[in-house]
Structure 1
Amino acid sequence: MAHWLFQEEHEMLRKSVRGWVEKEIKPHVEEWEQKGEFPRELFYRAGELGFLGLTYPEVYGGSGEDYLAGAVFVEELARCGSAGVAAGLGASVVIAGPQIYKFGSEELKQKFLVPTITGEKIGALGITEPNAGSDVASISTTARDEGDHYVVNGSKIFITNGVRADYVVTAVKTDPAAGYKGISLLVIEKDTPGFTVAKKLEKLGWNASDTGELVFEDCRVPKANLVGKENMGFYYIMQNFAWERLVMALEAVAAAELALEEAIRYAQQRIQFKRPLSKFQVIRHKLADMASWIETARSLTYHALSLFASGEDAVTAVAMAKVYACETANRVADEALQIHGGYGYMMEYPVQRYWRDARVGTIGGGTTEIMKQIIVNRLIK
Structure 2
Amino acid sequence: YSVAAPAWDLHGYIIAPFLIRHGTEEQKASWLPHMVSGEHIAAIGLTEPGGGSDLKNLNTSAQLEDDGYIINGAKTFITNGHIANRILLATKTDRSLGAKGISMFWVNLNADGVSRGRNLKKIGNKAQDTAELFFDNVKVPAECRLGAENDGWRILMDGLVRERLVVAIRSMVIAEAAIDKTITYTKERKTFDQTVFDFQNTKFKLAEMVANVEALRPFVDRCIELQLTEDVTPELAAKVKLTTTEVADRVLDECLQLHGGYGYIWDLSIARN
TM-score for both structures, normalised by structure 2: 0.95
What's 2:42 paired with? 123
Q: Is contact 1:95-1:124 (8 Å) kept? A: no
1:100-154, Cα deviation, whole Å (9 max, x unpaired): 2111222321221121123221111111112333432222111111121211111
Give the number of the structure whose residues are more often strand, by fraction.
2
Length, aligned pairs only: 273
Q: Is contact 2:46-2:53 (8 Å) kept? A: no
Counterpart-to-counterpart distance in 2, 1:208 and 1:313: 30
Question: What secondary structure is seen at the aligned counterpart in 2 of 1:164?
Answer: coil
Q: Is contact 1:256-1:332 (8 Å) kept? A: yes
Counterpart-to-counterpart distance in 1, 2:233 and 2:83: 33
The letter for the 2-side match of 1:332 is V
- Percent sequence identity is 36
Q: Cα RMSD (Å) of the superposition?
A: 1.4
Match of 1:150 among 69, 77, 86: 69
Question: What secondary structure is seen at the aligned counterpart in 2 of 1:77?
Answer: coil
Q: Is contact 1:131-1:139 (8 Å) kept? A: no
Match of 1:216 among 107, 132, 135: 135
Match of 1:172 among 91, 115, 126: 91
1:177-199, Cα deviation, whole Å (9 max, x unpaired): 21100000011101211111112
What's 2:2 paired with? 77
1:225-259, Cα deviation, whole Å (9 max, x unpaired): 11010000011011011111101111111111111
Matched, 1:281 2:200: yes
Q: Is contact 1:346-1:352 (8 Å) kept? A: yes
TM-score for both structures, normalised by structure 1: 0.69
Give the number of the structure whose residues are more often helix, by fraction.
1
Q: List, as ranges, runs of 4+ consecutive aligned residues in structure 1 with deviation greater than 4 Å.
A: none
| Structure with higher RCO (Cα < 8 A, 6+ apart) | 2
What's 2:150 paired with? 231
What's 2:104 paired with? 185
Gaps of 5+ in 1: 1-75, 79-84, 355-381
Counterpart-to-counterpart distance in 2, 1:297 and 1:160: 28
Gaps of 5+ in 2: none
What's 1:198 paired with? 117
What's 1:304 paired with? 223
What's 2:190 paired with? 271
Shift of 1:315: 2.3
